[in-house]
Structure 1
Amino acid sequence: MSNIKEVKLGSQGLVVPALGLGCMGMTTGFGGDIYGKADEKEAIATIQRSLELGGNFLDTADIYGPFLNEQLIAKAIRGNREKYIIATKFGFEIGDNGQATGAFNSSKNYVKKAVERSLKNLGTDYIDLYYQHRLDTNTPIEETVEAMAELVKEGKVKYIGLSEVGSETIRKAHQVHPLTAVQSEYSLFERQIEELGILDTLKELGISLIAYSPVGRGFLNGTIQKPEDFGENDWRKFLPKYQGEQFYKNVELVNEIKKVAVEKNITSAQLAIAWVIAKGHTPIPGTKRVKYVEENIASASIMLTQEDLNRLEAIIPLGTVTGARYDEASMKGVNL
């Protein structure tokens, strides 16, 4: 095992490595194939190499596939379950036929149904960190968290969290049962939760931020310089951030960040991940390749000074318009 530093998540006792491994892109289906075709053998090798380096914190969700991602993780961790910390999510309604209905569902009955399915697909009898993936506006958050709290009492879940929610929802939920973490998109390119005061709320309540897409969905690694650099089926080219004039403005920002990375003899992606860690948060960069999980984990050892942070944040100050992170339909699931 490496000596990757560990951090406390929340105030309920969960300790994890300084960064986790986002597994979404490792399978096809919802969320999969976003960054090119996945290969199961390479994905499993990536999860196992991550463990060897001390990266045992895996992030998945029932909707990825649906179910395929959790099933892949089950294969990768078989015989070593106790060595991993597994986070998964519920909330996108999935029918008994295994198809997403397009609705959000966090009713008490659905939470119970979803956790049993995830336990089965993961090949485990407990989930370390269980998130509500998206807010169900038809179900009071208190009802959902009560159902999650029951899972904790039953030993099926150890810690709970929410994803993509605002301060008011966080406060209501935390009163019912302490939240360990809130997951949201956060990077040098996406700081809306900071602008809205959500980070202040988390700090006040002793809840940790899990930052997904810390490399701006791979854009911050600096390899995408023109629209044609996206693959034919690459989902990113349909996002407002990466279309039209906004695309070229964002490339200019990335190239300024690259200059800092070159000076430090690290990759732009490593710099972006190190920035999130230096801000006191836990990033979960996604990859499906051994090479990149090794690079990502090395980011945890990069020390940035306050001067470094100031320089990076001067390139993309708070309030900089970088484009919406989802299309209009998908943004309806984000309740900040």
Structure 2
Amino acid sequence: MSFTSLAELLAAHGAAASAGVAVLSAPGALYRAISSDAVYVKNTLVVSGLIGEDGISTRLDLTAFTDLAFIVQAGATLELRNLTLLLPPLPTKTTTGSTASALAHVIGLEESGARVLLAGVNMVMATQSDLFTLTRTLCTPEDWRYGTKELQVLRGVVLYGNGTMLLGLSSDGSSPPPDAASALAILVNTSITCEGGPPPPPWACSATYVASADMLRSTAEEMLSGTAGPVLLSLTGNVTLQPDSWDGGLVVRKGQQLGLYGNPEPLRAVQLDFAGIAGAIVAESGRVLLRQLVLLGLPYPPNVDSPKELFAVWVHAVFTGR
């Protein structure tokens, strides 16, 4: 179903352009705005779709927009619920610097005091390249935060259980810019994929959480085999490797990155016990990052080949080559 403008589309389904509740009531149906005129949200605007028995939700097509589709004013609220949101291509230059955002070119704020919520939304980026760019920026190992279901990247799809994403700014420049807290959308049970469905491997990044040595080994191997970029794993509790079942080193090949993260909260430290296994992880010109972990059971083999190895504390647990 096509409408001249986004405002007309919303009005036809129960909401004024600036406030109200618009229910796009046909699961799987496509609602499209032809023009790229932005909607200024002045109060509370809720745009809701429906999810069919087949799991397919109502689709809202915003691909015609070359600038912001929604501009949320101070004190106003925008909620998008149970929708598949078809996004326009990422701009060549972004206003958010290097921060990963699929929304900054679609939803913007005029000033502080606005609220944006996405719940049960599947964002569909215009191309696989856009999704790759977003995911690669999102998955910086040094900036990655420990977590479980808050944020995962599985088989190329970004999954937000409960997280935030940077929004854009209105271009009129007549108001003070929003503060950092106000410029974030809240994402609940929201995913990001691309046109045509989940991308094929190799993926730009993979990230999830693990709870045991077996899970660490199997998850890391599976993700490393299909991921071109970083593999980032949060340890939800203490993990002890088992010499009898840890068969050879976990290999991080050339150009790959493996990050293992513990809980940074005080009094909730996570232990990673190598159980004396030398070369438990083998980085073949790859990179291994261990962060916020208490390392136990570090091996020290009887034979060393260099002064560097002689005085190293943990290098024997992670070999830098075979």
Structure ranking higher in strand proportion: 2
Larger relative contact order (CA 8 Å, sep ≥ 6): 1
Rg larger in 1 or in 2? 2
Common fold: TM-score over 0.5: no
TM bracket (short chain): under 0.3
Q: TM-score normalized by structure 1?
A: 0.25
